[in-house]
Structure 1
Amino acid sequence: MVKRIGKLLLVLVLLVAGVLGTMRLGLWNPSYESVKAHQAAAPSRFEQHGTVNLHIRDEGEGPVVLMLHSSMTNLREWDAWADALKGRYRVIRFDWPPYGLSTDSAPSRGMPGVVALIEKVVAAKGLKQLSIVGTSSGATIATLYASRHPDQVKALALSALPLEAPPPPEFSKLMWSMVWTHEKLVPNYYPRAYYRQSLSELYGKPERLTDETVQWYYETNTIPGGFAKVKEYWEANKKAVWAKGAGGDAAKVTAPILLQWGDRDPVLPNYLADKAVKQFSSAQVTLVHYPDVGHYPMLELPQETGRDLGAWLDKVHAK
């Protein structure tokens, strides 16, 4: 009996070692081409801007709305809001490196590098004025851009906005154990189970999470080599932005601002919303709270939050 248990334990250890070993070697990662085939159908296209091969969607006609996604996501984050707006606005959204299907052959400069990329896109497309919709780190990038180009930015619609390094999030022990396994044992891979767990904890109501969201989140974040690029980006950000924060940049913004905040956000608690309003000292800020929403208003409650965004943009552009 003891020998039998010992053999079973040995088989289990070998099985776990085999799984982790093949994950570490990248054998479980979906290829770039397979993800591109799934996630870059029309109206997606690819454009070269400097060193960046940019995955971009440019839809609709009318005043320009540029959408900047959050970290660890991509332009798919905006599907519902883009659909709601493109009937009366020209909606431009893209994957900013190191995320999604865009690639950059140059070392990451963090958020300032994304600001420089936006400048290239705006110049190449001849855009004179635009409204920017951004969430989480994309909202920080929008703030940096608006402070640098006040003459170009008509309005900012921001959600889950960090203007300084966020406080440590309150996640479950299960999720932290997955993070530890990734960081210590398999730095090139996260399984779908991780993305389902992490997104569930980032939602105010986990039952709102769809299988489709889990799937594109998994595919676009596990492209081979992606995690190394993300690490490079984060290290650049520590020096370029988070060492001093973006509060000084926020004070320079003069465009009207819509701030949409999920009160169940475990990453950016709702007291930071009131702090952000004060930091945008030169702008008129409209703050909207969503009591049962987490970190992703556009994914978790797309219709309601999208209607609020559309109505606010319509009001701004009617002036």
Structure 2
Amino acid sequence: MAEPTAGVRPDWVDDELFPFPSRFVEIDGHTVHYVDEGSGPVLLLLHGNPTWSFLWRDVIAALRGEFRCIALDYPGFGLSTAAPGYRFLPEEHADVVTGFVDALGLDGVTLVGQDWGGPIGLAVARRRPEAFTRLVLANTWAWPVNGDLYFEFFSRVGGASPLRFLARRLNLVVNAFVPTGHRRRKVTAAEMAHYRRAQGTPARRQAAAVLPSRITASRAFLAEVESGLADLSRLPLLIVWGGADRVFRPQERERLEQSFPDHTTVIVEGAGLYVESDAPEEFAAAVGDWLVRLSPPSRSPDRPR
């Protein structure tokens, strides 16, 4: 299977399953793919591992009538391509997302982050506090986990050489995590094809293979994220949590709740790690209802035409 052509939407993307025009922007030499749907207050949707903006398609369809929904792919994920020398580290992804926010001139942003999109997005919000007004987090964390035996085991095993080899050779991260991260419903063959084709070569799978080891290896970055929570705690936070997640435990959710005095929690019973895809109607309703109850954030400038 050939490597993707930078800045081109590949033919394997089903326009009915992912019915949003693809846009591309150059950020620090990377070609970053994103979708930009609707108008109104901005929702910046950040994915985790091993997914891409495709994860958010049902949420975008549900919310674009009231909000401007922007979902991007980190370099090496989805339809984005990385410049030479990129190592696919979460701290690098945070740099790219910061550049993306600057390039699009976004403000009045509600961050919506899941899995790795949580710490990546929180790092960006700390660096650009003037751009962000609301936070939504789903099945994620925001601090170093070194010394936590659960995460130490997960990171060491997932980041070990044999597993990294299988991740690159057999697309193991996609084949293992995407199905098990959906607990309410079975992922369709067409959906799995979109996750597999986005990482269709061993080189493309490197981005997903790197991240398990970074759960502990990116300690300095996660410490930066944690140190920023005090400043970000002034913002209202909505937590939408898949209650049947097999990766993040209730104590991660509880620690987020303790870090943000102005928080609202919605537990989606029976949903897994990818709650926004596993139970998109409930996820979108929770986000939309919560934002309506708050005073509307300032509008972002219109997207480029």
Cα drift, residue 68 of structure 1:
0.5
Query: Deviation per CA, 1:24-79, whole angstroms, max 9, x where unpaired?
Result: xxxxx465259822238651122212211011111111111111111210000000
TM-score norm. by structure 2 comes to 0.80
Q: 1:63 to 1:70 in 2, by over 3 A?
A: same
Mark the runs of 5 or more structure 1 residues left unpaired by the alignment.
1-28
Q: 1:229 to 1:141 in 2, by over 3 A?
A: closer
Note if 1:32 corresponds to 2:11.
no
Q: 1:199 to 1:229 in 2, by over 3 A?
A: closer
The aligned residue for residue 106 of structure 2 is 127
Of all paired residues, the percent bearing the same amino acid is 22
Note if 1:115 corresponds to 2:94.
yes
Residue identity in the other structure for 2:4: Y
CA distance in 2, matches of 1:40, 1:240: 38
Q: 1:235 to 1:262 in 2, by over 3 A?
A: closer
Residue identity in the other structure for 2:81: T
The aligned residue for residue 239 of structure 2 is 259
The aligned residue for residue 141 of structure 1 is 120
Q: 1:107 to 1:40 in 2, by over 3 A?
A: farther
Residue identity in the other structure for 1:294: G
Superposition RMSD in Å: 3.1
Cα drift, residue 247 of structure 1:
2.6
Q: 1:191 to 1:49 in 2, by over 3 A?
A: closer
Preserved CA contact (<8 Å) 1:255 1:284? yes
Preserved CA contact (<8 Å) 1:98 1:233? no
Q: Which has the larger radius of gyration?
A: 1
Preserved CA contact (<8 Å) 1:110 1:240? no
Preserved CA contact (<8 Å) 2:241 2:266? yes
Residue identity in the other structure for 2:62: A
Would you say how many aligned residue pairs link Structure 1 and Structure 2? 281
CA distance in 2, matches of 1:271, 1:232: 25
Residue 98 of structure 1: SS of its match in structure 2? coil
Preserved CA contact (<8 Å) 2:63 2:288? yes
CA distance in 2, matches of 1:77, 1:149: 25
Preserved CA contact (<8 Å) 2:245 2:271? yes
Note if 1:277 corresponds to 2:257.
yes
Mark the runs of 5 or more structure 2 residues left unpaired by the alignment.
298-305
Residue 44 of structure 2: SS of its match in structure 1? strand
The aligned residue for residue 155 of structure 1 is 134
CA distance in 1, matches of 2:292, 2:26: 32
CA distance in 1, matches of 2:171, 2:103: 38
Preserved CA contact (<8 Å) 1:67 1:78? yes
* Mapping for residues 6-85 of structure 1, pairs under 5 Å: 29=1, 31-32=3-4, 36-39=10-13, 42-85=20-63
More helix by share: 1
Q: 1:243 to 1:132 in 2, by over 3 A?
A: closer
Preserved CA contact (<8 Å) 1:60 1:89? yes
Residue identity in the other structure for 1:147: R
Q: 1:242 to 1:54 in 2, by over 3 A?
A: closer
